[in-house]
Structure 1
Amino acid sequence: MTDRKDELAANLAKVEERIAAACAAAGRSREEVTLIVVTKTHPADDVRMLSELGVRHVAENRDQDAAPKAAECADLPLVWHFVGQLQTNKVRSVVGYADFVQSVDRSKLVTTLSREAERTGREVGCLIQVALDAGASGRGERGGVGPDGVAELAGLVADAPGLRLDGLMTVAPLTGEYAGREQAAFGRLMDLSTDLRRAHPAANMVSAGMSADLEQAVAAGATHVRVGTAVLGVRPRLR
């Protein structure tokens, strides 16, 4: 167990160096960027060690992994982010532990999240997931709403009881005009964030960048980066 904690500490230090260097290169303060560690299929023991190492924000993308892990770690001072595509039948469970849902991408999900947040007396922070590869359907391969749908969906979140509109999230597209152009993709997200903040000034979170492209996200202006593999190593195969 000590070996694993040492491994996590070393990986965290490397990621911290990368974020600090990216902030310096962009002329930004290190305090402007929050690290979210994506724990996915890694065990609750890892989450506990991360907390002991000073990590405060963790993320999950599958409720079946997240719910038992969050319950096991309920005594820790952690902020939980749900970042995966969210089916409405999982909303009740997710609202039970998630402080933020970063993958809001359709009106039906807003309605369901609002109902559950009200029922449990919680306020859930919401980020609109933007699909920069959205085609004619208005949706992307990895979920998300196209840029043209952001304003309408943001308005629904802002007006929904129990929900708080906090900003935007994206995943660098694998196809379309931004494929292989992470910096340009994240720059486009920042433009959309600027537009959003004209109508909703407090919605200033911009979640972008992962293990492979966090530098480009920081350079573009991201406020939160979601890093999994670079901290935890290759995740165990899904069951």
Structure 2
Amino acid sequence: MSTIADNISRVIARIEAAAQACGRAPATIGLLAVSKTKPAEAVREAFAAGVRDVGENYLQEALEKQTQLTDLALTWHFIGPIQSNKTRAIAEHFDWVHSVDRLKIAQRLAEQRPEGLAPLNICIQVNVSGEASKSGCAPAELEALAQAISALPRLKLRGLMAIPEPTDDPDAQEAAFASVRILQERLSLPLDTLSMGMSHDLEAAIAQGATWVRIGTALFGARDYGQA
């Protein structure tokens, strides 16, 4: 049976190969280990194998893991849908939020971010596939939302996040990620982050400029949602 360390090595090799294939430096692509439904011990194993950035979708689960892993120098990323009643805890306990899709949430995060902490790194989630079931800002609303968020205190707008409609077609994967990159290039703001690509499509995302790939299954194995 593969260990988490073995899985991390394989994913890093995929990232490096994908970067080299499109002429990018592998160091420009961050590995975000997504540990939803997985125990704190799995995150500890990943840390021992070199992982420093952890992504969580579920707030309560994330807070419990943070309590168990206070001895590790981890950077915590919130990547799930955000309800208004969860913003204070997110503002207080995370370094990055990838899933902001409306101004109200950004305003609450700004108001509730403790002044003693560094500005909260923000990515706007954009719904490039137009799926009704997906969170995300509509592309037509992106410029106005980005401008408004960039003006808020205690936040640092870094870029965009997207979860395109799943497909096994590499050309379709690249086309979806290209649309995210183009949306960011058209914004009149100096942004440096594209959070896109998961276990099944990280190569296509890297080809189109991803700076964070959010990897769960390929690192930790299939998820048990009964434990979430």
TM-score (normalised: structure 2): 0.93
| Aligned partners of 1:132 and 1:146 also within 8 Å | yes
Match of 1:214 in 2: 202
CA displacement at 1:133 relative to structure 2: 2.4
Match of 1:49 in 2: 45
| Aligned partners of 1:60 and 1:83 also within 8 Å | yes
Name the amino acid aligned to 1:75.
D
The correspondence for 2:189, drawn from 197, 200, 212, is 200
- Counterpart secondary structure, 1:126: strand
CA distance in 2, matches of 1:10, 1:208: 23
Match of 2:174 in 1: 183
Match of 2:21 in 1: 25
- Counterpart secondary structure, 1:59: strand
Task: Kindly indicate whether residue 28 of structure 2 is the aligned counterpart of residue 36 of structure 1.
Answer: no
Match of 2:163 in 1: 171
- Counterpart secondary structure, 2:129: coil
CA displacement at 1:48 relative to structure 2: 1.1
Alignment of 1:124-143 (within 5 A): 124-134=120-130, 140-143=132-135
CA displacement at 1:24 relative to structure 2: 1.0
Match of 1:109 in 2: 105
- Counterpart secondary structure, 2:222: coil
The correspondence for 1:90, drawn from 79, 86, 89, is 86
| Aligned partners of 1:83 and 1:102 also within 8 Å | yes
CA distance in 2, matches of 1:141, 1:88: 19
- Percentage identity across aligned positions? 38
| Aligned partners of 2:129 and 2:176 also within 8 Å | no
Count residues in correspondence.
Answer: 226
Name the amino acid aligned to 1:190.
R
TM-score (normalised: structure 1): 0.89
CA distance in 2, matches of 1:184, 1:10: 31
Aligned alpha-carbon RMSD (Å): 2.0
**Structure 2 vs 1, CA of residues 122 and 238 (structure 1 numbering), >3 Å: closer, same or farther?**
farther
Match of 2:221 in 1: 233
Name the amino acid aligned to 1:215.
E
Specify every segment of 5 or more residues in structure 1 that has no aligned partner in the other structure, as ranges.
Answer: none
| Aligned partners of 2:174 and 2:208 also within 8 Å | yes
| Aligned partners of 2:91 and 2:114 also within 8 Å | no
CA displacement at 1:97 relative to structure 2: 1.6
Task: Kindly indicate whether residue 112 of structure 2 is the aligned counterpart of residue 123 of structure 1.
Answer: no
**Structure 2 vs 1, CA of residues 92 and 54 (structure 1 numbering), >3 Å: closer, same or farther?**
same
CA distance in 1, matches of 2:117, 2:216: 31
CA displacement at 1:42 relative to structure 2: 0.4
| Aligned partners of 1:41 and 1:236 also within 8 Å | yes
Specify every segment of 5 or more residues in structure 2 that has no aligned partner in the other structure, as ranges.
Answer: none
CA displacement at 1:194 relative to structure 2: 1.0
CA displacement at 1:121 relative to structure 2: 4.6
CA displacement at 1:118 relative to structure 2: 4.5
CA distance in 2, matches of 1:113, 1:21: 37
Match of 1:162 in 2: 154
Match of 2:144 in 1: 152
